[in-house]
């Protein structure tokens, strides 16, 4: 029987150096997705800037507050930053502790349950948190605030932060606590993901040098996770800065004050949410300009986070 021979495949003729259609198709697709982000960002910035210009350039008499725009927006920005700072300060240590418990201490079944509970926390709508903060947490905290106020009376600095207590409990500290609970799942789940990725090799190296579990965690888990913790906190901070509904409901707005447990303080998102529906003309422009300031703050926070992360790139463990 004659053997049928197939000629060896030829290098030429089966397509060319530009590759297959699928490759170029996906290259274009991913490029388009990348470009789209820039286009969206540019359009949002453009919209915010154009709409803000009338308010930023307007004279004090024309504006709703009767003061120059910067005097109007600065207290709002500070209020936003204070609420977010409280949230981050309260939430970060708790989140890291919970994440560490899940990743390194709890037995498998317990850590799974705790993980689910944390995820459920993330699923609660912010309006529910707001309503709870306004009607339950706030009033419940009134006695605490009264005690804080009494205890810190006469102590320099503290008496400023814990001044005359509010009778409703709808204060910046309450808003900060609610925000802290809201960002807890974000930071926790991020941290957990990073903690469990700590290379076993390094954990064992630390243990083999005669370290306790906690020393091992300090020497391997935390340094390995540092960039990730920064990112997680920034993600939480971004959420806290922009959170509108919960703060709008919890906080009884007022003038900027350092007193965290008294009447006063506003945040940019709540200010916009409360006033935008009835605003028109220059007032609308004022509120959009406040939004622009929030955008700039968030951008700055993210850039600082990037900078912190990049500073340690050489020692990150990625190499």
Partner 1 sequence: MSKRIEAHDVDIFYGKFKAVEGVSMTIEPRNVTAFIGPSGCGKTTFLRSINRMHEVLPGAHVTGRITLDGDNIYDPGVDPVTVRSMVGMVFQRPNPFPTMSIRDNVLAGYKINGKKMSKSDADDLVEQSLRGANLWEEVKDRLDRPGSGLSGGQQQRLCIARTVAVHPQVILMDEPCSALDPISTLAIEDLIRELKEDYTIVIVTHNMQQAARVSDTTAFFNIEGTGKPGKLIEMGPTEKIFSTPEVQATEDYITGRFG
Closest CB to partner 1 among 278 and 314? Answer: 314
In this complex, which beta carbon is closest to partner 1, that of residue 18 or of residue 200? 200
Report the residue from 6, 12, 208, 280 that binds partner 1 according to the rule CB under 8 A.
208
Q: Which of 126, 171, 220, 244 binds partner 1 (CB under 8 A)?
A: 220
**Residue in 38, 210, 277, 278 binding partner 1, rule: CB under 8 A:** 210
* Residue 142 binds partner 1 (CB under 8 A): no
What tokens appear for 195 in the block?
Answer: 């903690």
Does position 315 interact with partner 1 (CB under 8 A)? The reply is yes
Could you say whether residue 212 binds partner 1 (CB under 8 A)?
Answer: yes
Selected from 119, 164, 204, 306, the binder of partner 1 by CB under 8 A is 204
The least distance separating partner 1 from the CB of residue 222, rounded to whole angstroms, comes to 9
Q: How is 193-216 classified by DSSP, letter by letter?
A: HHHTTS-HHHHHHHHHTT--HHHH
Q: Of the ranges 82-90, 240-248, 261-269, 307-315, which one interacts with partner 1 (CB under 8 A)?
A: 307-315
Mark the segment that binds partner 1 (CB under 8 A) among 61-69, 180-188, 223-231, 295-303. 223-231
Residue 278 DSSP one-character state: G
Cα separation, 103 vs 135, in Å, equals 35
Query: Using the rule CB under 8 A, which residue among 48, 216, 293, 297 binds partner 1?
Result: 216
Q: CA-to-CA distance for 126 and 94, rounded, in angstroms?
A: 20
What distance in Å separates the CA atoms of residue 300 and residue 298, rounded to the nearest whole number?
A: 5
Q: Which residues contact 82 (CB under 8 A, 6 or more apart)?
A: 172, 176, 260, 265
Query: Should residue 16 be labelled a site residue for partner 1 when binding is judged by CB under 8 A?
Result: no
Least Å distance, CB 39 to partner 1, is: 38
Alpha helix ranges (H) inside the chain: 21-57, 69-100, 108-123, 126-132, 138-152, 158-161, 172-195, 200-208, 213-216, 222-242, 245-250, 268-275, 282-311
- Residue 289 binds partner 1 (CB under 8 A): no
**Distance between CA atoms of residues 310 and 110, nearest Å:** 36
Cα dihedral angle (12, 18, 20, 22), rounded to 10 degrees?
A: 180
Residue 309 touches partner 1, criterion: CB under 8 A: no
Site for partner 1 contains 302 (CB under 8 A):
no
Residue of the chain from 215, 255, 300, 304 that contacts partner 1 (CB under 8 A):
215
DSSP state of 124: S
Q: Is 233 in the site for partner 1 (CB under 8 A)?
A: no
- Candidates 19-27, 31-39, 56-64, 208-216; binding stretch for partner 1 (CB under 8 A): 208-216
| 111 contributes a contact to partner 1 by CB under 8 A | no
The Cβ-side half-sphere exposure at 146, using a 13 Å CA radius, reads 8
Binding positions for partner 1, rule: CB under 8 A: 108, 199, 201-202, 204-212, 215-216, 218-220, 223-224, 226, 312, 314-319
């Amino acid at each position: 029987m004659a053997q049928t021979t197939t000629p060896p495949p030829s290098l030429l003729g089966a397509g060319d150096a530009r590759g297959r259609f699928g490759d170029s198709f996906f290259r274009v697709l991913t490029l388009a997705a990348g470009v789209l982000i820039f286009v969206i960002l540019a359009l949002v910035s453009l919209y915010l800037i154009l709409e803000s210009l009338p308010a930023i350039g307007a004279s004090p008499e024309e504006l709703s507050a009767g003061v120059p725009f910067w005097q109007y927006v600065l207290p709002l920005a500070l209020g936003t930053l204070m609420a977010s700072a409280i949230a981050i300060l309260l939430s970060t240590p708790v989140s890291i502790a919970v994440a560490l418990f899940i990743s390194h201490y709890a037995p498998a079944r317990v850590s799974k349950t705790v993980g689910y509970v944390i995820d459920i926390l993330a699923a609660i709508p912010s309006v529910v948190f707001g309503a709870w903060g306004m009607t339950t947490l706030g009033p419940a905290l009134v006695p605490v605030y009264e005690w804080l106020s009494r205890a810190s009376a006469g102590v320099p600095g503290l008496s400023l932060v814990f001044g005359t207590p509010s009778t409703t409990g709808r204060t910046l500290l309450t808003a900060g606590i609610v925000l802290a609970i809201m960002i807890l799942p974000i930071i926790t789940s991020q941290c957990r993901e990073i903690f469990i990725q700590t290379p076993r090799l390094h954990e064992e190296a630390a243990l083999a040098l005669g370290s306790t579990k906690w020393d091992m965690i300090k020497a391997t888990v935390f340094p390995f996770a540092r960039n990730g913790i920064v990112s997680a906190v920034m993600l939480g901070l971004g959420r806290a800065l922009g959170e509108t509904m919960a703060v709008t409901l919890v906080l009884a707005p007022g003038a900027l004050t350092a007193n965290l447990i008294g009447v006063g303080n506003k945040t940019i998102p709540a200010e916009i949410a409360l006033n935008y529906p009835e605003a028109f003309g220059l007032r609308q422009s004022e509120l959009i300009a406040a939004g622009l300031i929030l955008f700039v703050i968030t951008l700055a926070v993210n850039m600082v986070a990037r900078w912190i992360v990049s500073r340690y790139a050489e020692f990150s463990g990625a190499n």
